[in-house]
Amino acid sequence: MDLKLTGLTALVTGASRGIGRAIAHELAGEGCHLHLASRSAADLETVRAAIAQKHKVKIECHALDLGESRNIATLVQRTGDVDILVMHRYL
């Protein structure tokens, strides 16, 4: 399905596993450039490598604990303007 997302930039939090990871893969498949955020740098690198192997999109990883408010500000500074935001938190 072509959702006409090619060239847009998406920020996906919780991107190292579960639904965040699945959403990142789908957005890359639609041609979105990605900013991936999660606490684990190693897990993010695994996701980045898997996506890069299949899709020619730009991918930047941000290993940050977004439970700490100062890290949210850091993420905003690093990513700048994004077209799509996928943000969730674990309860």
The whole-number pLDDT of residue 2 equals 80
The whole-number pLDDT of residue 90 equals 54
The count of domains in the chain is 1
Supply the range of the domain harboring residue 82: 9-86
Q: Is the pLDDT of residue 66 over 50?
A: yes
Contact call for residues 45 and 61 (beta carbons, < 8 A): yes
Q: Domain holding 62: CATH number?
A: 3.40.50.720
Q: Is the pLDDT of residue 7 over 90?
A: yes
Separation between Cα atoms, residue 55 and residue 17, nearest integer Å: 18
15-62: per-residue pLDDT in tens?
Answer: 999 999 999 999 999 999 999 999 999 999 999 999 999 999 999 999
